[in-house]
Amino acid sequence: MVARPTRSPAAADEQSPLLSGRRLVVARLASTVLAASAAGVSILGLPALYAEFRTLNYLDPAARDVVHDNLANLGVSVGFYAAYLLALGAVLALACYAVAAVILWRRSDEPMALFVAGLLALLGATFSGSIGALGALDPFWERLNGGLNALSVTLVFLFFYLFPDGRFVPRWIRWFVFLVLVYAAPAALFPNSPASPDNWPALPYAVLFASLLLTGVFAQAYRYQRVSGYTQRQQTKWVVFGFTSALTGYVGVISLQVAFPSLEPGTLADLLGIAAASCFMLLIPLSIAVAVLRYRLYDIDLVVNRALVYGSLTVMLALAYWGGVTATQALLHALTSQEEQPQIAIVASTLAIAALFTPLRRRIQSFMDRRFYRKKYDARKTLEAFSAQLRDETDLDALSDYLVAAVRETMHPAHVALWLRPPPGDEGH
């Protein structure tokens, strides 16, 4: 029998207090109205956004000519390109609205869940971009778009300060809300004034935004280490994984477009890049859904482990494939004096990649386990060794010692004790 240490009160999972009565009715009504209004205005702006995409008014005249030429080379019409862009934004916005609706349906008596539902509704309106298109038609919509963008930015920072239990941890982090308001309010109220960060030079703007972002990261890290219990830590891992993967993938796609000017708007690479960026951003509402709903909260460590392994494997195999094709072509050119031997080079590289896949995956998996999941890796090795002892050892006392040692190394309890029930008939001896 193994005696486990009792979890300290500070590490216990605490659910935020539930709403009831009039407060519950008011909170549900406010969240529902906010989500429905954001979705309704987004739908209202879809025709204007499609017209903007259809006429390419968001680009300068020279860029419009480039897009027209690239689309003509692909055999794609401008109307299809506009519908493609509109659909990607609509899918991302719809995912946010759908997750917000599910949260309102399943967790509407929890303050933090209502807060997250409102945040997702605002993010859906921001991702769709349709309200911004309405701003070109009427100044009212332009001011409304600026206000919603500022509110969504403010709620994102508050989300990192409050998630998952709705409390400011540490308590003094609440004072940074004032700095967030100083950052967001001028952009909404005075968009053309020097006070708006959007009109600042790039360096001060980047410093302020990065500083505020670091306060949110610090709040989550502090809460994870000092306060959160097991469930809350899993929730935090899901949210951090979603935001980190989304932003990393999005920035990676944008960086490729900047690094390779040949990836112009309207090309096939541009279409694939926009789709990839949208898929990465989908991770934000999906990870929040898993974290907030908490139904069958899947082990995020397994997801992160597989993402690291197969992400690294993909990059390494792609580099090996490119290097193999290049080297094979160079070798065949040196031997045959022919300019190109593409089919042989591609077949040889493909066979090499197929042969490398399994052993390379095992090596990467072993490295990731040793480097980032050392405790689980050591626990697995300990259990494998204990299984071998069970097959070879017959002495009961020795097996008892091995069992206690295995439990101590894998679970790290405060105390370990083992009781063996005597065989039937020996109770009186």
User: 389 is written with which tokens?
Assistant: 């002892």
Mean pLDDT of 400-419: 60
| Single-letter amino acid, residue 90 | A
| 331-356 confidence digits (pLDDT tens) | 666 666 655 555 666 666 677 777 77
Region of 357 (left: φ > 0; alpha: ψ -120 to 50; beta: rest) is: alpha
- Note whether 286 and 95 are within 8 A (CB): yes
Question: Which of 284, 288, 299, 171 has its CA nearest to residue 226?
Answer: 171
| 184-218 confidence digits (pLDDT tens) | 888 777 777 777 777 777 777 778 888 888 898 89
User: 17 is written with which tokens?
Assistant: 């207090």
Instruction: Determine what percent of the chain is predicted with pLDDT higher than 70.
Output: 67
| Single-letter amino acid, residue 133 | A
Which residue has 């769709």 as its token pair?
128
- Among 23-37, 77-91, 287-301, the minimum mean pLDDT is found in 287-301
CA distance 145 to 49: 13
| 117-145 confidence digits (pLDDT tens) | 888 988 888 888 888 788 777 778 878 88
Question: Which of 232, 225, 373 has its CA nearest to residue 297?
Answer: 232
Question: Which of 393, 404, 369 has its CA nearest to residue 1?
Answer: 404
Instruction: Using alpha carbons, list the distances in angstroms from residue 307 to 165, 189, 245, 304, 364.
Output: 28, 42, 10, 5, 12
pTM of the model: 0.67
Tell the burial category of 393 from Cβ atoms under 10 Å away from its Cβ (0-12, 13-18, 19+): middle
> For the chain, percent helix, then strand, then coil, each to nearest 5?
80, 0, 20
- Note whether 112 and 16 are within 8 A (CB): yes
Neighbouring residues of 151: CB distance < 8 A, sequence distance ≥ 6: 122, 184, 188
CA distance 118 to 30: 9
CA distance 197 to 135: 20
Q: How far is CA 76 from the centre of its chain?
A: 32
